[in-house]
Amino acid sequence: MQPIVESHQLRLFVMLARQLNMSQVAAELRMTPSAVSHALKAMEADLRCILFERTSRRMRLTPAGEALLPEAQSILSGMESLRTRAGAICDPEQNRIRIGASTTACQFILPPALREFRESFPGHAIRIEPCTARQAADHISADRIDFAVTLEPAAHGGLEFRFMAEDSLHFVVHPLHPWAIRRRVPREEVPTGKLIISETDEETFALIEAYFRKDRLTLTPFIEIANDEAIKRFVNLDMGVGILPRWIVAGEMERGQLTVLPLGRRQLRRRWGMLHAKGRKLNFAESLFFNICREVMRSLVETGGRSGEGLSVFLVLLTAGMRMAAC
């Protein structure tokens, strides 16, 4: 059996080919020039091939050395990649993702996304920190989370927002509510409509408030709660009027339990995405997770809440691979 070329021999060969100076390579490796020379001779003996022409003044690659160098570089790069990949799988510090997420993301986006993610990274530890977009910015700055799946904040200086999908908000009422019966919403009734909406410190409330401010309408919420399922429940009991995206109430609409009406002539759109520190490069696991979340969110919006079921990890991996350079 022929001797196997070892990693330190490959590294020595590649370094010598790059610098063509034995003394410099010896200093970099903290070896003596004599030791480097002996190591090179041993490698050439193992390969039964002369890699360098050496004179008292200079050294240069032989034709054989030039032919073998690309393969040596490729093997060395693969070995380094293997070590990095092993660290990502086995190192507890690298093998962890800390996610900030809005209540809506926790309820609807993360469950199907994490199920798909687990198929590729079963050993990753996941920690989820429920938070608003504004709180997420503080958590990222304080290094309490790696990134957040949330709505785009009004301002995100020092942070980067990666767009996933867009939805729009609507009035949601009981089928027997006067607005549902008339199939229209009198503008003058909006401020007194017993609105059941997200808490005032959330991005959604800020968007809603700004939308109606353009119509010179001031909103006074009847119930504030940061839980879309609870809002649906209150509206289903005919306790007031919710403001939610259509995809969240698609099932109730099909069953005739809730009715959706437009907020007005203008649409009120929200942008969903990932928020993280500016300039932060996502690793492979994080890049894959972003792509999965994006596909889940787009599927939710397009199919009316019936997403996340049967997402193809292969297709998402392909998407992630195509976009790694952008990360």
Tell me the pLDDT tens digit for each residue of 58-104. 899 999 999 999 999 999 888 887 876 676 566 655 678 999 999 99
Residues 261 and 184 sit within 8 Å (Cβ to Cβ): yes
CA–CA gap between residue 22 and residue 203 (Å, rounded): 62
**Measured distance CA(246)–CA(256) in Å, rounded:** 14
What's the pLDDT band for 157 if we cut at 50, 70, 90?
confident
Q: Is pLDDT at 246 greater than 90 in this prediction? A: yes
What is the rounded distance in angstroms from the CA atom of residue 47 to the CA atom of residue 56? 24
pLDDT of 208 over the 50 cut: yes
Strand partners, 151: 272
Instruction: Give me the amino acid identity at 215.
Output: D
At residue 306, does pLDDT exceed 70? no
Nearest to 214 by CA among 172, 261, 255, 266: 266
**Which residue type does 188 have?**
E
Whether residue 314 is predicted with pLDDT greater than 60 in this model: the reply is no
Mean pLDDT of all residues in 253-271: 95
CB atoms inside a 10 Å sphere around CB 74: 10
The winner for highest mean pLDDT among 32-46, 233-247, 273-287 is 233-247
pLDDT confidence band for 305 (50 / 70 / 90):
low
pLDDT of residue 123: 83
- Domain ranges for the chain: 7-90, 167-269
How far is the C-alpha of 249 from the C-alpha of 263, rounded, in Å?
Answer: 15
294, 192 contact by CB (below 8 A): no
How far apart CA 161 and CA 273 sit, in angstroms, is: 6
Q: What CA–CA distances, in Å, run from 118 to 99, 127, 292, 294, 324?
A: 15, 13, 11, 16, 19
Tell me the three state secondary structure of residue 97.
strand
> In the numeric block, which tokens belong to residue 85?
């990949």
Give the contacts of 127 (CB within 8 A, at least 6 positions apart).
96, 97, 98, 99
Question: Has residue 122 got a pLDDT over 70?
Answer: yes
CATH number of 7-90: 1.10.10.10
DSSP H/E element including 37: helix 33-47
State the pLDDT at residue 153.
Answer: 86
Q: Please, which residues have CB within 8 angstroms of residue 74's CB and are 6 or more apart in sequence?
A: none
Highest-confidence range of 78-82, 157-161, 201-205, 272-276, by mean pLDDT?
272-276
Angle made by CA atoms 278, 281, 284, in degrees to the nearest 5: 145
**What is d(CA 114, CA 76) in angstroms, rounded to the nearest whole number?**
34
With helix as H, strand as E and coil as C, how does 108-128 read? HHHHHHHHHHHHHCCCCEEEE
Residue 76, pLDDT score = 87
pTM: 0.66
The superfamily in CATH containing domain 167-269 is Periplasmic binding protein-like II (3.40.190.10)
- pLDDT score recorded for residue 4: 76
Mean pLDDT of 210-232: 91
Number of Cα atoms under 13 Å in the Cβ half of residue 244:
30
25-34, 57-66, 125-134, 309-318: which range is least confident on average? Answer: 309-318
Mean pLDDT within 187-193:
92
Q: Whole-number mean pLDDT of the chain?
A: 87
The answer to whether domain 7-90 and domain 167-269 are alike in fold is: no
Q: What is the pLDDT of residues 75-85, one digit of tens each?
A: 988 888 787 66
